[in-house]
Structure 1
Amino acid sequence: MSFFRLDGKVAVVTGGGSGIGQAIAKCLAASGALVHVLELNEAGGQGTIDEIKAAGGQAQVHGCNVADQAAVIAVMQGIIQSRGRLDILVNCAGIAHVGKLETTAEADFDRVFAVNVKGTYNCMYAVIEQMKKQGGGVILNIASIAATVGIPDRFAYSMSKGAVMTMTLSAAKDYLADKVRVNSLSPARVHTPFVDGFIAKNYPGREAEMFDKLSKTQPIGRMAKPEEVGYLALFLCSDEAGFITGCDYPIDGGFIKLNN
C-alpha cells in the first residue's frame, strides 16, 4: 500500500531554489506532484528542477518576486491555465534579519515584512479562488519557532513569522466550508546553505565551533535536515492529512517544550 501519493496534483512551492523549499519541492515531486517552483531569480531555481527531473519527476521554475502581487497573480494564473487546477501551495520564500528592536531600521523591517508577510498573503490571495472553484486544496505556510518563543536578535523575523502563523489560522477558519486546508510548519534551526553562509560571515575562523554551538541549542543535539522538514510537509499536503487544518506543527528537536 502506498501512502502520501500526490499523483496528478499540481503544487506550487515558493522559495524552492534551495534549503527547505528545495527539499519540500523534491519530496512533493517524488510522490507524483507536478511541481512549480517560484524563485526571485529563475536561474536560482533551475538546480531544483534539474534534480527533480533527473529523479523522474515533473517540475518547472518561474521567476517571481513574491512581494509583487501583480507578478504573483500573473504566474499563478499561468500555472492554472496550463494545468487546469492548482492543488497545493507551499509558502516557503522568506528572508531573515539579525537585530533587536533598536538595531532594526525601518528599511530592514519593511524588507522582511514585504517578503515574509506580504509574500505569503500575495500567494494565498492568488490561489484561493481557484481552490474554492475546484472544490478544495491545501495551503502550507512555513512559519518558525520564533513565532511562539523569544529568539534573541530576531525582532523583525519573529514579527513576520508570528504573522504567518496567525494568517494561517484565520484562513483555515474562513475556508473550512470550501474544503481548503491551511496549516503551518515551525522549524527550529535547519542545516541549510543559509546557515553555513551566516556562520562564515559572522564568525570567520570559528565556523566549526559556532556550528556545534548552534546545533546544541536544540535539545536533540543537532539541527534538522531539510528533507526532514520536507517529509512533514509531504504528509500535511497529502490526502492522509485530510482531517488536519488550522494547525501549526513545530519541527524543532524539542526546542519549544524541552528547552529548560
Structure 2
Amino acid sequence: MSEFAGKSAVITGGGRGIGLACARLIAERGGVVILMGHDADMIEGAAAELRADGLSADAIFADISVEAEVAAALSRAEDATGGVDILVNNAAIQPYGTVASMGSRQWDGVMGVNLRGTYLACHYALPRMVERGHGAIVNIASVQALANQARVAAYATSKAGMLALTRSIAVDFGRAGIRANAVCPGCIDAPMTRFSATETAPGQEEDTIRQWGNAQPLGRVGRPNEVAEVVAFLASDRASFCSGAEFKVDGGLMATLGVALPDPT
C-alpha cells in the first residue's frame, strides 16, 4: 500500500509501543515519519530500526511538556519534510494515585505530558496545516477517558480532556480542511500496560496481563499494531468524513457490564 506516499507524520512518544507501531505502519504505507520523544537513545534507536527495514524515518528529541522544545521540534519536522500532514499524539505517563494521595506536582506532571503536551503539539502543527488546507490529527486517549479503574485520577482526567480537545479542534478547524479524531485503546500489551502489571502484582506480570485480557469479551489483551491500524485509517483519506469522534479499540471492554450471569450450559 502507498496511501501515505508524499505525506509526512509526526508521532509523539514514537519510540516504543503504540507510537512505534503507528510510525511503522504509516511508513510501510509510503509515509515519512518523524519520531518525537524525550528519550534520545530510544527514539534514535527506533528510527534506525525503521530505516534498517527500508522505511523513511527520523527522530527529533523533545520533552513534550516543554513549550520551547515542542515548538522547535515541530519547526524542524516542517523543515525536514516540507510540511507535516499527520500528527499522532501518543506521548503519555500513568502514575497511580487518588485525588487525595497524589501531590499537586505529580498531578501537574501528568497533565503536562498527557494533556498540555497534546495541546502544544497541536498548537504548533495547526497553523502550517491551515496554510496548506489539509491535515489529520489523531490523539491517543484511552478507555480510561470513558470509565475508570481505581487510582488513575490524573491519567483518566487527562485522557478525558484529550477527547474534549479533539472535539474542539474538529469544530474550530474543520472548514480549514483539518480533521481531528481520538482513539481509545483498552488493555494493550505495551510498555505502559506492563508497568501497570508490575505496579499491581510484582513478579506476576504475565498472569496479571492474562487476567486483564480475560476481562475483555475477545478474551485477550490487544496488540499495538491493532491500535495502529485504526490510527492509520483515521490519518488516511479513507477517513475523509471522520472528525471529532472517538474510536474504541478495546476488545469489547466498554460494551461489557460488570455483572456475570451463570453460564446456562
TM range (shorter): over 0.9
Q: Deviations over 1:59-111 (max 9, x none)?
A: 00011001111111111112212322110000000100212222221112111
Q: Deviations over 1:207-232 (max 9, x none)?
A: 33322222222222111100000111
Residues 89-168 of structure 1 correspond to what in structure 2 (within 5 A)? 89-168=87-166
2:236 corresponds in structure 1 to 238
Secondary structure at the residue paired with 2:171?
helix
How large is the Cα RMSD of the aligned pairs? 1.4
Q: Which amino acid aligns with 1:242?
A: S
Instruction: Select the residue among 208, 211, 214 that pairs with 2:209.
Output: 211
Matched, 1:14 2:12: yes
Residues 153-232 of structure 1 correspond to what in structure 2 (within 5 A)? 153-232=151-230
Q: Deviations over 1:90-138 (max 9, x none)?
A: 0000100212222221112111000001100000000100000011100
Question: In 2, distance between residues paired with 1:90 and 1:70?
Answer: 19
2:24 corresponds in structure 1 to 26
Question: In 2, distance between residues paired with 1:61 and 1:186?
Answer: 25
Q: Which amino acid aligns with 1:206?
A: Q
Question: In 1, distance between residues paired with 2:104 and 2:172?
Answer: 32
Matched-pair contact (CA < 8 Å) for 1:219–1:259: no
Which moved further from structure 2: 64-73 or 208-217?
208-217
Q: What is the CA-CA distance between 1:186 and the residue it aligns to?
A: 0.3
User: Unaligned stretches of 5+ in structure 1?
Assistant: none
Q: Which amino acid aligns with 1:217?
A: A
TM-score, normalised with respect to structure 2: 0.93
Matched-pair contact (CA < 8 Å) for 2:36–2:61: yes
Question: In 2, distance between residues paired with 1:15 and 1:54?
Answer: 20
> Following superposition, which runs of at least 4 residues in structure 1 exceed 4 angstroms of deviation?
none
2:56 corresponds in structure 1 to 58
Q: Which amino acid aligns with 1:88?
A: I
Which moved further from structure 2: 89-98 or 47-56?
47-56
Matched-pair contact (CA < 8 Å) for 2:94–2:192: no
Matched-pair contact (CA < 8 Å) for 1:169–1:182: yes
Question: In 1, distance between residues paired with 2:40 and 2:241?
Answer: 35
Matched, 1:78 2:76: yes
Which moved further from structure 2: 105-114 or 121-130?
105-114
Q: Which amino acid aligns with 1:59?
A: A
Matched-pair contact (CA < 8 Å) for 2:209–2:221: no
Q: What is the CA-CA distance between 1:202 and the residue it aligns to?
A: 4.2
Matched-pair contact (CA < 8 Å) for 1:26–1:48: no
Query: What is the percent sequence identity of the aligned residues?
Result: 31
Q: What is the CA-CA distance between 1:41 and the residue it aligns to?
A: 1.5
Matched-pair contact (CA < 8 Å) for 2:210–2:221: no
Q: What is the CA-CA distance between 1:50 and the residue it aligns to?
A: 2.1
Question: In 2, distance between residues paired with 1:259 and 1:45?
Answer: 39
Matched-pair contact (CA < 8 Å) for 2:187–2:213: yes
Report the CA distance shift for 1:201/1:149 in structure 2 as closer, same or farther (over 3 A).
closer
Question: In 1, distance between residues paired with 2:31 and 2:79?
Answer: 17
Q: What is the CA-CA distance between 1:201 and the residue it aligns to?
A: 4.8
TM-score, normalised with respect to structure 1: 0.95
Question: In 1, distance between residues paired with 2:241 and 2:205?
Answer: 43
Question: In 2, distance between residues paired with 1:114 and 1:193?
Answer: 20
Q: What is the CA-CA distance between 1:192 and the residue it aligns to?
A: 1.1
User: Unaligned stretches of 5+ in structure 2?
Assistant: 259-265
